[in-house]
Chain A
Amino acid sequence: MKNLLKTLRNESFSRRYAPHHPDAPLLDMEGITVRYETGTVLEGINFQVEAGNAVAVVGPNGAGKTTLFKVIAGILDPDQGLVRVSGHEPGGHTCIAYVPQRTQVDWSFPATVADVVMMGRINHMGPFLWPQKSDWEMVRSSLDIVNLGEYANRQISALSGGQQQRMFIARALAQEAELMLLDEPFSGLDLPAQEKILEILNTLKGQQVAVMISMHDLRLAAEQFEQVMLLNKNLLGYGSPEEVFTRERLLNAYQGHLHFIEGDFDTLAVGDDCCEGDFYDHH
């Protein structure tokens, strides 16, 4: 019976497993434009992400970072442009995981950490089927990767901010995602919690999982990521921090909201006076 259901599902839902084209980049964005009633949020965005890349996405508030992620994840259809995942339209894929901002989650929900991570397995189970032993094993190993093994049976409200973030990374791992989109995972976290997430991101890199992370902290982006993306409605730069974080480009992106302080060396001190009052200097 179970096998029958599995076969049925693979037949009728096979579009969830659209084949990957071996030569195509993992993610290929072409001329993406998104307009809301209030105006254009993203305009003519072109870029590619390869397997195993880690990209820090920075830009002022309202730059369209979350919108960009939603387009990539296929939650939001762009008004113009094409999103290709391994050579195909994203509709056929569930290999992209979107990790929401922590404030958008109902933490009083009656679920344990393992329950939430198990949600990532849904498409790997058949319709009508409950989790199998192999699903639970996947959940356990995902939690081990993010060092939350001992928290599996805790209620989600008992987690700290950093642990909450790691739980969602574990869910993306359980989903067997090849591209993870992390929306502001560092905001509100203290340094040790940030470091733990950075460590996990390193592990992911070893497993050829690509990651895109939106953040406010330009210094963190410059120091920890080989690739950065500067966004403000348009794609203002994409490449190494040295190439992208130039004075003109940053001014262009942040306009009045940026303060430059000449440092010891060529780089800059930057304040992004966003709502959270982040202020980072670079000396």
Chain B
Amino acid sequence: MTIIDLLLTPLNYSFMVRGLSAAVLTGIVCAVVGVYVVVRGMAFFGDALAHSILPGVAVGYLVTGGAREPLFWWGTGTAVLVSLAIGAVSKGARIKEDTAIGIIFAGMFALGIAIISTVKSYTVDLTHFLFGDVLGVSGNQLALIGIFSFLIILLVIAFYKEFLVLTFDPTLAATLRIPMRVYEYLQLVLIALAIAVSFQAVGVALMVAMLVTPAAAAYLLTKRLPVMMVLAAVIASASGVIGLYASFYINVASGPAIVLVATLFFVVAWSYSALKRQLNLKENGTIGL
């Protein structure tokens, strides 16, 4: 068996082709939006938001009797609602933001599992919700993922400079009369949508890895935000493809395989940047770039 055979064989299976497409699309979307999560230090928020969509998905699961496709809409609706709720709560509350997020996160997650557990044969589906089932993506689901991915990326490009100022310097945004609240909520909604789109691929438990890991690896390799977005998207797509092939040949679950490859990319990026720093220190005594 040649390498080309190794690469082509999985493509004979339509579920693999759909899975690869979904993995690449969701990888790109999560990575690009994840850049904001990383530079704003919102990893915990992203993790919580991913877990919080479970009750919505669970209710949809009960209502539709286990059909998969409507779950996309249940997930999307819940993600947007929860992101706005966390945004509002963390502003006015007397408790600290991460505490508030922790409470909502665990409470919603428990509610989701409780609802799903009322169904007798729930374990398989629960596993898919938690860890993803990218090979189970249908043609319709893939189309929805494609449309939403396109929309999210379009919004990120359209409001790039507003998001940049909001992220780096909210005071400047205020002096320039940029309606910050609007963009802040829009950013939260984009993160929510990215999570809803990727729910099928990696599941809620590993979602934060898709948001944070490729973006963090990219952060170590560049000094500019747009470059960081492109690099993160490349790393995430590569992780999706390599992870799925690994899953195909060595028979491990697809979601964890993708996340593990992304983690490997991060370790390589981290080693590279640490090495570079060391070399620069030796060469000229300063931290060069």
Could you say which residues of chain A place their CB within 8 Å of the CB of B167?
109
Q: Which residue from chain A places its CB closest to the CB of B171 in the assembled complex?
A: A100
Interface centre among B177, B225, B227 (most CB of A within 10 A): B177
Inter-chain contact B168/A111, CB cutoff 8 Å: yes
Interface centre among B167, B175, B219, B228 (most CB of A within 10 A): B175
Minimum CB–CB distance from A5 to chain B (whole Å) comes to 11
Within 8 A of A (CB), among B124-179: 158-162, 164-165, 167-169, 171-172, 174-178
Within 8 Å by CB of A155, from B161, B165, B289, lies: B289
CB of A31 within 8 A of chain B? no
CB of B222 within 8 A of chain A? yes
Could you say which residues of chain B place their CB within 8 Å of the CB of A96?
175
Within 8 Å by CB of A119, from B168, B224, B287, B289, lies: B168
CB of B39 within 8 A of chain A? yes
CB of B223 within 8 A of chain A? yes
Stretch of A123-131, A205-213, A219-227, A257-265 at the chain-chain interface? A123-131
CB of A236 within 8 A of chain B? no
Within 8 Å by CB of B223, from A94, A111, A123, A175, lies: A111
Residues 167-203 of B, flagged 1 when their CB comes within 8 A of A and 0 if not, give 1110110111110000000000000000000000000
Minimum CB–CB distance from B174 to chain A (whole Å) comes to 4
Interface centre among A91, A128, A171 (most CB of B within 10 A): A128
Could you say which residues of chain B place their CB within 8 Å of the CB of A111?
164, 168, 223-225
Inter-chain contact A74/B175, CB cutoff 8 Å: yes
Q: Which residue from chain B places its CB closest to the CB of A118 in the assembled complex?
A: B161
Q: Given A73-B175, A94-B176, A155-B289, is A112 in contact with B223 using a C-beta cutoff of 8 Å?
A: yes
Q: Given A75-B174, A158-B289, is A110 in contact with B161 using a C-beta cutoff of 8 Å?
A: no
Bound complex: CA of A128 vs CA of B161, how far in Å? 8
CB of A50 within 8 A of chain B? no
Q: Given A109-B39, A122-B176, A125-B161, is A155 in contact with B223 using a C-beta cutoff of 8 Å?
A: yes
Inter-chain contact A119/B160, CB cutoff 8 Å: no
Inter-chain contact B162/A122, CB cutoff 8 Å: yes
Inter-chain contact A98/B171, CB cutoff 8 Å: yes
Inter-chain contact B168/A154, CB cutoff 8 Å: no
Could you say which residues of chain A place their CB within 8 Å of the CB of B227?
110
Inter-chain contact A97/B178, CB cutoff 8 Å: no
Residues 193-213 of A, flagged 1 when their CB comes within 8 A of B and 0 if not, give 000000000000000000000
Q: Given A105-B169, A119-B168, A125-B161, is A110 in contact with B225 using a C-beta cutoff of 8 Å?
A: yes
Interface centre among B162, B169, B224, B227 (most CB of A within 10 A): B169
CB of A16 within 8 A of chain B? yes
Within 8 Å by CB of A109, from B161, B168, B177, lies: B168
CB of A116 within 8 A of chain B? yes
Q: Given A110-B223, A111-B223, A128-B158, is A122 in contact with B165 using a C-beta cutoff of 8 Å?
A: yes
Q: Which residue from chain B places its CB closest to the CB of A100 in the assembled complex?
A: B171
Bound complex: CA of A262 vs CA of B73, how far in Å? 78
Within 8 A of B (CB), among A158-210: 158, 171, 175
Bound complex: CA of A74 vs CA of B172, how far in Å? 11
Q: Which residue from chain A places its CB closest to the CB of B38 in the assembled complex?
A: A110
CB of A115 within 8 A of chain B? yes
Could you say which residues of chain A place their CB within 8 Å of the CB of B160?
130
Could you say which residues of chain A place their CB within 8 Å of the CB of B168?
106, 109, 111, 116, 119
20 contacts between A and B (CB under 8 A): A16-B177, A73-B175, A75-B174, A75-B175, A94-B177, A98-B172, A98-B175, A100-B171, A105-B169, A106-B39, A109-B168, A110-B39, A110-B219, A110-B225, A111-B223, A116-B168, A122-B162, A123-B176, A123-B177, A127-B158
List of 4 A-B pairs having minimum Cβ-Cβ separation, nearest first? A155-B223, A75-B174, A73-B175, A128-B158
16 extra interface residue pairs, beta carbon distance < 8 Å, beyond A110-B228, A120-B172: A73-B174, A74-B175, A75-B171, A75-B175, A91-B177, A98-B171, A110-B224, A116-B168, A119-B161, A119-B164, A119-B169, A119-B172, A122-B161, A123-B177, A131-B161, A155-B289
Which A residues are closer than 8 A to B by beta carbons? Answer: 16, 73-75, 91, 94, 96-98, 100, 104-106, 109-112, 115-116, 119-120, 122-123, 125, 127-128, 130-131, 154-155, 158, 171, 175
